[in-house]
Structure 1
Amino acid sequence: MAGVSTESQDALAQVFEQRFAADASTTTSNELFAVANLLDQNGSLRRGLTDPSREAEQRRGIAASVLEGKVYPAVRELAIIAAGSRWSGERDLADALEHLAVLASAAAAERRGGQEAVTAVIEDLLRFTGVVEADARLQNALTDQRATAQAKKRLVSEVVALRTPEGQELVNQAVEHPRGALPAMLAERFAGVLAALQKRSIAQVTVSAPLDEQRRERLQRTLSSIYGKDLALDLTVDPEIIGGIKVQVGDEVIDGSVLARISDLGRTMTAS
């Protein structure tokens, strides 16, 4: 049935927030990712847990048996609840568990340092995305099937400064288990989940030259003021960009030719 998976994922997220978020940790997140990866790798298990011809209780029983003693009790219970839900396709259950893993990372960050810590995780994810998308060689290295996961994670640690443990964990997951997506795109999707929790939007900003942290923060404040809502910046550097900047928030795009509307934006970028 169309829409069943979306409704099931939303219901599962609500259960997590109500019953499990208060005690969530990075271990919770890692184990939820691990269960999602297990489903990706094990077709018979994936089909067993999503087959609509099976009774919900039977699907829950399979999940309970397979995960007994292998993950945190809370993770096992979430997987059991998820297995009892209805999913439109085989992949949807793993997608929902991945979504829960990101929510668990957000909850762990918030427990550690409040909403500022969650914002720092978003910034880590978008920093990783920006660095990778700006370097074709790095993109190729992170998608090279011959390279080990450890080698890829080591490369990331050398080229991207990540400031939060949750950001590091989510980036590692995107690199090690991209689940058919490009690592940078998956990290950006994780950032979108966290931004939605904070009721923020992500502004995709392309600039002609790199910005230091001070200019980045000033640009973020200026754009947030222009759009009347708190924005997180997904920065990309492209020396060929017309007017020195392009901003996209949702479907709206602003480029250098309409800077009259945002007259202080140029000063934001060039101010020392």
Structure 2
Amino acid sequence: MKLNSITLAKRYSRALFELASENNELEVVTNDLKAIHKIFISNPEYIEQLSSPSLPSTAKQTIVDLLKQDAHPLVAKFIQMIFEYQHLDAVVLIIEYFNRLVNDKNKIVHANATTAVELSTSQKEQLATRLAQHLGANEVILATTIDPDIIGGVVVQADGKIIDGSLATKIAKIRRMLVK
């Protein structure tokens, strides 16, 4: 029975995360995986080539060897293993799940703030600091989106939660209260 990509990614990422943590090599493994992730994201044809039956195994192994060349031994073994088990098509997803585990351990939260206008750098820093306190995080990595429809205020999506402080939502609440 073949595992689906998400189940596979969760299993491999968890195993790699636990090994790196046990060996106190989490930071170096994370950095190597980020570099590999960047390679595959910027060159999606690599995955296609490595998964293609038309490319000879020796050519595939040469590409994999290049990926492993400067990698930490744990990362090199990981890349070789997923190549041998023909799971390189899931490498990006595996690394993304690995990064989630690292972020959870380090209490790093990724958030998206939607505002009606562009926030200044100091406003972004202030919002990230307040969100970190609110969410119990050590750090909040904040991305921003502009949506004039929210009129004012901010809508934040972080850690599976939505914090809606938009003026549009407040007006809608007042409208519902007046209609009652």
So what's the TM-score if we normalise by structure 1? 0.42
Q: Alpha-carbon deviations, 1:33-84, whole Å to 9, x = none?
A: 2211210112342223344677889756632332311x33323333333333
Q: Alpha-carbon deviations, 1:203-248, whole Å to 9, x = none?
A: x3xxxxxxxxxxxxxxxxxxxxxxxxxxxxx42212324558xxxx
Q: Alpha-carbon deviations, 1:144-189, whole Å to 9, x = none?
A: xxxxxxxx9x98547532563xx46xx38x79xxxxxxxxxxx84x
Q: Among the aligned pairs, what percent are the same residue?
A: 10
Q: Distance in 2 between matches of 1:58 and 1:45?
A: 12
Q: Quick check: 2:6–2:93 contact (8 Å CA) kept in 1?
A: no
Q: Distance in 1 between matches of 2:30 and 2:61?
A: 21
Q: Structure 2: where are the runs of 5+ without partners?
A: 145-156
Q: Distance in 2 between matches of 1:96 and 1:32?
A: 10
Give the strand-richer structure, 1 or 2: 2
Q: Structure 1: where are the runs of 5+ without partners?
A: 110-117, 142-151, 176-186, 192-201, 205-233, 245-255, 257-272
Q: Distance in 2 between matches of 1:243 and 1:35?
A: 48
Q: Distance in 2 between matches of 1:236 and 1:76?
A: 44
Query: Which residue number corresponds to residue 236 of structure 1?
Result: 164
Q: Which amino acid aligns with 2:31?
A: N
Query: Which residue number corresponds to residue 100 of structure 1?
Result: 98
Closer, same or farther: CA 75–160 of 1 in aligned 2, 3 Å: same
The structure, 1 or 2, with the larger RCO (C-alpha pairs under 8 Å, 6+ apart) is 2
Which is greater in Rg? 2
Q: Distance in 2 between matches of 1:62 and 1:98?
A: 21
Q: Quick check: 1:52–1:86 contact (8 Å CA) kept in 2?
A: no
Query: Which residue number corresponds to residue 34 of structure 1?
Result: 35
Aligned pairs, how many?
A: 154
Q: Give the root-mean-square deviation of aligned CA atoms.
A: 4.2
